[in-house]
């Protein structure tokens, strides 16, 4: 019996659903499903919680070596008989390429990842705006070169955000999270409306239509900042 089959049998023996296991281990249901179908295997930090949940030893889970009850230890760090080097052969090792595997991330890890992606993308947007302003007005660089570079930077930032949010697996949200999303959406709608109004007002007053479109970029930045603030606030509430 391989590890995937063993995890499936252990869960059934405990009369647990995949959602139950996911909730107890703070992972997504899709992650548990992939463990049980052999598409991926648990990370090291999930081995002990799995053993505690199914009331077995790491040796029994990973290598099929069943221990007598009196020899089992709860704390794997104090279990000198358990060979982690041998266990590595049975485990999925997280490497650099697997850092983008959102299926194996916990919800808190996804939130932290979201905060990093959004905040760094916002920084890219600000750099693009500063580059365009300084390059054209101060350094007198070629407007075409400045414009192309500006668009490349903006495209890079937008692509990072879109790729991130499209990679996140669908997770059922709590009523509190749904309420939070509605509030953020309403705030962004208001910001978007104000941005459009400011765009037309400034454009008609200055007649600088070729420049005032930057207002839309700034409006988008403000919206992303609002999302980031709400996300960080939500993380603080979860910790409390």
pLDDT in tens, 47-91: 888 888 888 888 887 776 555 544 444 444 444 444 545 554 444
> Measured at the alpha carbon of residue 229, what is the angle toward residues 225 and 232, in degrees to the nearest 5?
135
* Domain with 90 in it: 3-99
Q: Are residues 202 and 83 in the same domain?
A: no
Output the pTM of the full model. Answer: 0.48
What's the pLDDT tens digit per position in 151-183? 999 999 989 988 888 887 766 666 777 777 788
Please tell me the distance from the alpha carbon of residue 199 to that of residue 209, in angstroms, as a whole number. 9
CATH of the domain at 22: 1.10.260.40
Do 54 and 10 form a contact (C-beta atoms < 8 A)? yes
**pLDDT at position 131 over 50:** yes
For range 213-230, the mean pLDDT = 80
Run of H or E including 140:
none
| pLDDT grade for 237, boundaries at 50, 70 and 90 | low
Query: For residue 155, what pLDDT is reported?
Result: 92
Residue 211 and residue 147 share a domain: yes
**Beta-carbon count within 10 A of 161 CB:** 20
Answer yes or no: do 174 and 62 share one domain. Answer: no
pLDDT over threshold 70, residue 92? no
The pair of structure tokens assigned to 75 is 């704390």
Residue that terminates a domain, selected from 50, 72, 99: 99
């Amino acid at each position: 019996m391989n590890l995937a089959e063993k995890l499936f049998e252990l869960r059934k023996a405990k009369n647990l659903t995949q959602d139950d296991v996911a909730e107890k281990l703070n992972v997504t249901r899709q992650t548990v499903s992939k463990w049980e179908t052999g598409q991926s295997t648990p990370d090291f930090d999930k081995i002990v919680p799995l053993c505690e949940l199914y009331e077995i030893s790491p040796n029994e889970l990973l290598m099929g070596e069943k221990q007598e009850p009196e020899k089992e230890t709860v704390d794997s760090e104090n279990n000198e008989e358990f060979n982690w080097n041998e266990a590595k052969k049975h485990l999925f090792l997280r490497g650099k390429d697997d850092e983008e595997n959102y299926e194996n991330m916990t919800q808190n890890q996804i939130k932290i990842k979201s905060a990093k992606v959004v905040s760094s993308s916002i920084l890219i947007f600000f750099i693009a705006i500063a580059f365009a302003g300084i390059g054209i007005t101060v350094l007198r660089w070629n407007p075409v070169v400045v414009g192309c570079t500006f668009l490349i930077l903006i495209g890079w930032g937008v692509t990072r955000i879109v790729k991130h949010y499209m990679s996140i697996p669908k997770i059922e949200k709590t009523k509190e999270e749904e309420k939070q999303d509605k509030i953020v959406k309403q705030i962004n709608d208001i910001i978007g409306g104000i941005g459009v109004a400011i765009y037309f007002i400034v454009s008609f007053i200055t007649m600088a239509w070729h420049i005032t479109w930057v207002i839309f970029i700034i409006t988008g930045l403000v919206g992303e900042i609002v999302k980031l603030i709400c996300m960080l606030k939500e993380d603080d509430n979860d910790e409390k």
